[in-house]
Homo-oligomer: A and B are copies of this chain.
Amino acid sequence: MLLYRFDPKNAKMNNNPIGIFDSGIGGLTVVKEIIRVLPDENIVYLGDTARVPYGTRSKEVITKFALELVNFLLKREVKFLVVACNTISATCLNEIIKVSPVPVLGVVDPTIEFAVGMTKNKKVGVIGTAGTINSRAYDQRILQGNAKIKVSSVACPLFVPIAEEGLADHQVARLIATDYLKDLRNNGIDTLILACTHYPLMRKIIEETMGSEVVLIDSAKPTAKKLKQVLKENNLLSKKKNPKYEFYVTDAPERVLKVASRFFGNVLNGYLKKITLPIL
């Protein structure tokens, strides 16, 4: 399985930044974990807040938008690309790998690897946006790795707006979670992949609904861990201290900062830059 592509001509790029991108600001959950495990790495983040969400769009449009984001980051001479968005990773990772001269890591494969290692009864659930679930990327790759695993997947489209509106503790969150997760509960899964960067904000309600015996796995930790391993194997780790962070968004209404603070505290303050579409 091709997780990334390494180009030897980039071997001298150790101190160049890692480019991380997402349809919006949910990918900051992945950034946070990457900063924790790789504290010396420079990072450039790009969130397409002017066109978020991607989860309801066609593969064609998701691919077009994603390649525009990639292009923006490549111009900033990143040494590595992290696709911190489940919808993009599930929909068009191969298209990104095809055009990128630097290695690419999506969130799907590391997350699956981690989940497959966790399940004991070989029954794994996946929840995500309509785009991610309809792509069947998770189902297919889990089965490619282990055909004996039974995968149940469900789209939970209201989870993103509920999380963004700060309603994760509201009774509506509980009610819709009960509905969305009913089949997964009946299927007796022991491991549930939160295949959307927003869903960690819904963790409490998902935990309550699924019961404490089900292990919840989100993309942040597995992706950061895999990134560290791949950078190390390819001798691409940063050799400097005191890293620089740059956060770019394609639209920055007040709401973006408010929602970002739900994910990430106030860390954007001072780093955030707005860029104008088109970004090609």
What residues of chain A have their CB less than 8 Å away from a CB belonging to chain B?
A: 49-51, 56-58, 60-61, 64, 130, 157-158, 161-162, 165, 167, 170-172, 175-176, 179, 250-253, 255, 277-278
Q: Give every chain B residue within 8 A of A172 (Cβ-Cβ).
A: 158, 172, 175-176
Count of identical protomers in the assembly: 2
Across the interface, do B251 and A58 meet the contact criterion of CB distance under 8 Å?
A: yes
Query: What is the chain B residue whose CB lies nearest that of A175?
Result: B172
CB-contact partner of A50 in B61, B130, B165, B253, under 8 A: B61
CB-contact partner of A157 in B56, B165, B170, B277, under 8 A: B165
> Once the chains are docked, how many angstroms separate the CA of A179 from the CA of B251?
29
Query: What is the chain B residue whose CB lies nearest that of A252?
Result: B58
Interface pairs (21), CB distance under 8 Å: A49-B57, A50-B57, A50-B61, A51-B51, A56-B255, A57-B251, A58-B252, A58-B253, A61-B250, A61-B251, A61-B277, A130-B255, A158-B158, A158-B162, A158-B165, A158-B172, A170-B176, A171-B175, A172-B172, A172-B175, A278-B278
CB-contact partner of A253 in B49, B56, B253, under 8 A: B56
Q: Give every chain B residue within 8 A of A170 (Cβ-Cβ).
A: 176, 179
Q: Give every chain B residue within 8 A of A58 (Cβ-Cβ).
A: 251-253
Q: Give every chain B residue within 8 A of A179 (Cβ-Cβ).
A: 170
Across the interface, do A57 and B158 meet the contact criterion of CB distance under 8 Å?
A: no
Q: Give every chain B residue within 8 A of A171 (Cβ-Cβ).
A: 175
Q: Give every chain B residue within 8 A of A61 (Cβ-Cβ).
A: 50, 250-251, 253, 277
Q: How far is the CB of A187 from chain B (nearest CB, A)?
A: 22
> Once the chains are docked, how many angstroms separate the CA of A172 from the CA of B180?
12
Q: Give every chain B residue within 8 A of A250 (Cβ-Cβ).
A: 61
> Once the chains are docked, how many angstroms separate the CA of A76 from the CA of B247?
40
Across the interface, do A253 and B57 meet the contact criterion of CB distance under 8 Å?
A: yes
Q: Give every chain B residue within 8 A of A56 (Cβ-Cβ).
A: 253, 255
Q: How far is the CB of A17 from chain B (nearest CB, A)?
A: 26
- A251-B57, A252-B58, A278-B278 in contact; A161/B157 too (CB < 8 A)? yes
> Once the chains are docked, how many angstroms separate the CA of A255 from the CA of B130?
9
Q: Give every chain B residue within 8 A of A162 (Cβ-Cβ).
A: 158
Q: Give every chain B residue within 8 A of A57 (Cβ-Cβ).
A: 49-50, 251, 253
